[in-house]
Amino acid sequence: MHANPRRVLPPLVALLAACAHVDGGAHRGDVIVSMTRVSVAPKPDAGERWDAAAQQGDTGGCELLGALSSFVLPGSGAIAAGVCMLASSSDAGGDLKPEDPDLFVGFEIGKQTYYSPVIPNRHSHDRPFDLFIPGELLRNQDLHVTIYDSDGASRTQATVIADAMLDAAALRKGVELQDVRLEKLRLHARTPPGQPQTTTVKISASDGLARVDGLDLPAGMIVEVRASGRYQIGSWNDAKIGPTGYPGGGPRDYNLPGPDFRRAAHGAAVALLQLDSSAQAIVVGDCARFVTESGGRLLVGVNDNDHRNNRGSITFEVRVLAPDVQTWSGLTTLSCDP
């Protein structure tokens, strides 16, 4: 990584007076920081370009989403088509070149950093990214925001375009950051839900991956998913199984794509959290509790790539709640309560 020294950019920060003031979240003064615009110079310097002729950014998320797209229940929306196709069109509708930057933004505070999804081959976009931050952290520390151009499959292979240190007061008023190579980064804060969010969805085992609606799912939140039900996988097997899947694993060759799903038991309850090019695969079984990496939308189903001949149903109960500092910082192991 080509690192720049950390610096505060007060002369380059324009406060947005029109943004709503946040008087502290309902949960310990917590906030959700929303990024709604990032734009960098078309070229880093005169006569130069951001990337080589071939795309350099991390496309692993797009590859997984593309592989999973055919398993999404109709009406839940295409999970890969949106941002993974952005590389082929510009704001004006023309083709963009692979040498345009593959932008993502890091948000670091305390001992943890969260990253927005990589948006390939765009020097400007308005794809939203939301991050929950515990109020306890913001009371004592500033948020370090860094704009990157991804140069490879790992986040350590990235070029720093600009960075800034922001305190809680600036975030709550709303800011626009500008620098020599950064044309605009727009951030504002909002109050998170005051109570845990809960919802229940019952689907057929033949539905594939179905979207769970009605949830606010920024990065940095705890999600607990519980599954129950009895169902049959395939037309050749009359045995009913539950959310833990086949005893001993079963025929894993028929599992959904992706390493996490491939390793899991066939027919197990699974979930996918997706935002643009980022995909977080979760093996639910009877229950799973996890912290959202990029947030987005939640899809649930069973671990089967030939789901149309399944029978029976499965119910998913979902809770979304605010983590404490230790959990948000990745310093604790999450498990479901009995």
C-alpha span between 140 and 287 (Å, rounded): 35
Backbone angles phi and psi of 5, in degrees to 5:
-65, 145
C-alpha 40/C-alpha 137 separation (Å) is 29
Q: Model-level pTM?
A: 0.85
Please give, one letter per residue, the 3-state secondary structure of the chain. CECCCCCCCHHHEEECCCCCCCCCCCCCCCEEEEEEEEEECCCCCCCCCCCCCCCCCCCHHHHHHHHHHHHECCCCCCCCHHHHCHHHCCCCCCCCCCCCCCEEEEEEECCEEEECCCECCCCEECCCEEEEECHHHHHHCCEEEEEEEECCCCCCCEEEEEEEEECHHHHHHCEEECCCCEEEEEEEEECCCCCCEEEEEEEECCCCEEEECCCCCCECCEEEEEEECCEECCCCCCCCECCCCCCCCCCHHHCCCCHHHHHCCCCCEEEEEEECCEEEEEECCCEEEEECCCCCEEEEEECCCCHHHCEEEEEEEEEEECCCHHHHCCCCCCCCCC
The amino acid at residue 205 is: A
Domain final residue pick, 151, 170, 190: 190
Inform me whether the pLDDT recorded for 81 exceeds 90: no
**Confidence (pLDDT) at 303:** 96
Query: What backbone torsions phi and psi does residue 134 show, to the nearest 5 degrees?
Result: -60, 135
Whether 181 and 202 map to the same domain: the answer is no
Query: Are the CB atoms for 288 and 337 separated by under 8 Å?
Result: no
Q: Is residue 124 part of a domain?
A: yes
* 103-109 β-sheet, strand order: 112-115, 103-109, 143-150, 158-166
- The average pLDDT across 130-144 equals 95
Write out pLDDT tens, residues 7-66: 434 434 444 433 333 343 444 789 999 999 999 998 888 668 888 755 554 555 566 666
Tens-digit pLDDT profile for residues 201-222: 999 999 989 999 999 999 999 9
Stretch among 56-60, 145-149, 223-227, 321-325 having the lowest mean pLDDT: 56-60
Considering 190, 220, 238, which residue would you say is the last residue of a domain? 190
Least confident among 87-101, 113-127, 222-236, 293-307 = 87-101
Q: Are residues 202 and 283 in the same domain?
A: yes
Residue 100's pLDDT is: 86
Output the pLDDT for position 148. 95
Among 190, 208, 239, the domain boundary falls at 190
pLDDT at residue 79 is higher than 70: no
Inside any domain, residue 169:
yes
Diameter of the chain measured on Cα atoms: 69
Lookup: tokens for 190 = 């909002």
pLDDT of res. 62: 64
Which of 28-37, 74-83, 145-154, 172-181 bottoms out in mean pLDDT, i.e. has the lowest?
74-83
Pairwise CA distance, residues 81 & 216, whole Å? 22
Q: Is residue 156 part of a domain?
A: yes
Cβ count within 10 A of residue 202: 12
- CB-neighbour burial class of residue 312 (10 A; exposed 0-12, middle 13-18, buried 19+): middle
Q: How many structural domains compose the chain?
A: 2
**Domain hosting residue 130, numbered range:** 10-55+98-190
| Interval 123-148 mean pLDDT | 95
Tell whether 215 and 183 lie within a shared domain: no
Is residue 295 located within the same domain as residue 319? yes
223 and 266 part of one domain: yes
| Residue 131, φ and ψ in degrees, nearest 5 | -135, 125
Examine residue 302 and state whether it is found in any structural domain, yes or no: yes
With respect to residue 66, please indicate whether it lies within any of the assigned structural domains: no
CA distances from 132 to 13, 70, 97, 109, 127 (A): 22, 31, 34, 12, 17
Reported as a single tens digit per residue, the pLDDT across 94-133 is: 345 678 899 999 999 988 999 999 998 889 999 999 999 9
pLDDT for the residue numbered 14: 47
Mean pLDDT across 133-143: 94
What percent of the chain has a predicted confidence (pLDDT) above 90?
Answer: 62
Over residues 280-285, the mean pLDDT reads 96
Reported as a pLDDT band with limits 50, 70 and 90, residue 146 is very high
Of 2-6, 160-164, 193-197, 271-275, where does mean pLDDT reach its minimum? Answer: 2-6
Sequence-distant (≥ 6) Cβ neighbours of residue 18 within 8 angstroms: 174
Round to whole Å and give the CA distance between 151 and 103.
Answer: 10
Does residue 254 share a domain with residue 112?
A: no
Residue 78 lies inside a defined structural domain of this protein: no
